Amino acid sequence: MNASAPLNDSSGARDKPRIDLLAPPFAGHLHPILAIGRALRDIADVEVVSTEGAQARIRAAGLRGVALVPGADAALRALTDPPYAVGANPLRLRAQFQQALRLQTAFAAALDARYRERRADLLIADFTLIVAGPIAARYGMPWWTSHPSPCVIEASGGPPAYVGGWTPGRNAFGRARDACAAQTVRLFKRGVHRLHRRALSELGLDRVYRDDGSEAAYSSECILALGLRELEFERAWPDSVRFVGPLLWSPPDRGEPPPAASDRPHVLATLGTHLGWAKDRFARTLREIARRNPHWRLHFSDGVHDGDAAATHDALHRHAWVDYPSWIPAMSAVAHHGGAGVMWECLRAGVPSIVLPQDYDQFDHAARLEAAGVALRLRHPREIESALQRVLRGEAGLRPARFVDALRPGMAEARVVALVRDRLGV
């Protein structure tokens, strides 16, 4: 990448470059952006642009926040956490996309007003904020994409994401299946764009793919892939992709402390901060497992950090929220849904896991964890008990410590800082 002088350097003096980080308020998207901001705050004037609901966590990370689109948090929650699985249901996907378009339009207007007053030297936007690119182009600002789920980036070779967590075909038939599925996904995206051409064009999103085949919603200059290339299936990645590793941050309020070591194995189960429609059902299954296995200590986190849910302790220890960095190293195993945050915390701590994906990219994460030999992938809740028995007895053949060295704290942050220094010449 070519270095360039900060856009705001209008005199001879060189002030710190101004970097805006853009993300929705959800943990899986906001927390990696906060980790990026904390890494860059010594070399740049950093502001985190999100919603009102994100401001407390932005301040807790020691960063300055900017709230846009008053009232957006409720609409975003309804969009991303409906009372059902979205999956590949075309009607639900279309309804969700229409809701997302209305919110993107509101954010585009707010960003336009912000940068009309003063440009940033660099925008780094979460991949879900598809209006960041057109806004950056309008005001001549460099724009990068932050991507906590690199598996969903389209790249030739292997199966596409969002088709149920396929692994790459190993023979001619399997490779043909993968190629057909990839073309079907591209046709679907083009069809959705055609149906909403006017609204998308008004946002500056005139096409789905560039002439080189890369996705126009992502930066053509730099996609910060917040994952490990070693965990991904082999594919021909776009030139803009930079694997820097996961960037993790957790709110400083650690909630309940992790349990003390005992002669009974402790197991944490979680479905993250979304998937409200699945949590009570999941908890009922876990409670029955806990009753049949009193020699285990099962803990379930609701992932409600800002709520007032009370902890309950019977056969199943149910917590409103637990701090992954302090809890997961104290666990003998973790049962989770395949969300990026808990996935990386398990890999960093070298703790074995069982994965029961529920929606979105979780099936793709589960496929990669299983292929890497660091987790068991489940298809149904009835498999949880037997899978935990295998893992806790050491009979699952997992290698949970495989990526610990590659995930040492500070490595991903250093890579991001180096890329930004090179781009902005600081």
**Is residue 299 classed as helix, strand or coil in its secondary structure?**
strand
| Nearest-angstrom CA–CA distance, 363 and 379 | 10
- CATH fold match for the domains 18-249+409-424 and 266-407: yes
Q: Write down the pLDDT at residue 172.
A: 95
φ and ψ at residue 249, rounded to 5 degrees: -145, 145
Q: Which residues pair with 355 in a beta bridge?
A: 336, 377
Cβ–Cβ < 8 Å for 320, 309:
yes
* CA separation for the pair 369, 347 (Å, rounded): 9
- The order of strands in the sheet holding 333-336 is 312-313, 316-319, 297-301, 266-270, 333-336, 353-355, 375-377
Other beta carbons within 10 Å of 90:
11
Buried b (16+ CB within 10 A) or exposed e, 352-387: bbbbbbbbbbbbbbbbbbbebebbbbbeebeebbeb
* 50, 26 contact by CB (below 8 A): no
Cα distance between residue 1 and residue 426, in whole Å:
13
The confidence score (pLDDT) of residue 170 equals 92
Structural fold of domain 266-407: Rossmann fold (3.40.50)
**Cα angle 26-342-235, degrees, rounded to a multiple of 5:** 90
Identify residue 161 by its one-letter amino acid code.
A
The mean pLDDT values, 10 residues at a time, for the chain of 426 residues are 48 74 93 97 97 95 95 77 60 70 91 94 96 96 97 94 94 95 94 90 94 95 97 96 96 84 92 76 93 95 69 83 94 96 96 93 96 97 96 95 95 98 95
Please report, for the chain, the start and end positions of each structural domain, with discontinuous segments joined by +.
18-249+409-424, 266-407
Residues 6+ apart with CB under 8 A from 247: 32, 35, 36, 39, 226, 412, 413, 416
Return the structure tokens found at 254: 């650690």
Q: Give the tokens for residue 103.
A: 């919110």
Tokens read off for 174: 């399997």
Homologous superfamily of 18-249+409-424: Glycogen Phosphorylase B; (3.40.50.2000)
94-to-84, 106, 127, 196 alpha-carbon distances in Å? 15, 19, 19, 10
- Smallest CA-to-CA distance from 363 within 81, 91, 83, 152 is with 152
146, 226 Cβ separation under 8 angstroms:
yes
Whole-angstrom CA distances from 385 to 6, 44, 258, 367 are 56, 49, 22, 20
Tokens at 191, concatenated: 């069809």
Give residue 129's pLDDT.
94
Six token digits for residue 30: 């906001």
Question: Which residue's entry shows tokens 């070399």?
Answer: 43
- Classify strands 45-50 and 18-22 as parallel, antiparallel or unpaired: parallel
Among all chains, which residue has been given the structure tokens 């915390």?
345
- Give 346's contacts (C-beta < 8 A, 6+ positions apart): 328, 334, 336, 352, 353, 374, 375, 400
Helices H / strands E in the chain, number of each: 13, 14
Query: Are the C-beta atoms of residues 339 and 387 closer than 8 Å to each other?
Result: no
Q: What is the structure's pLDDT at 405?
A: 96
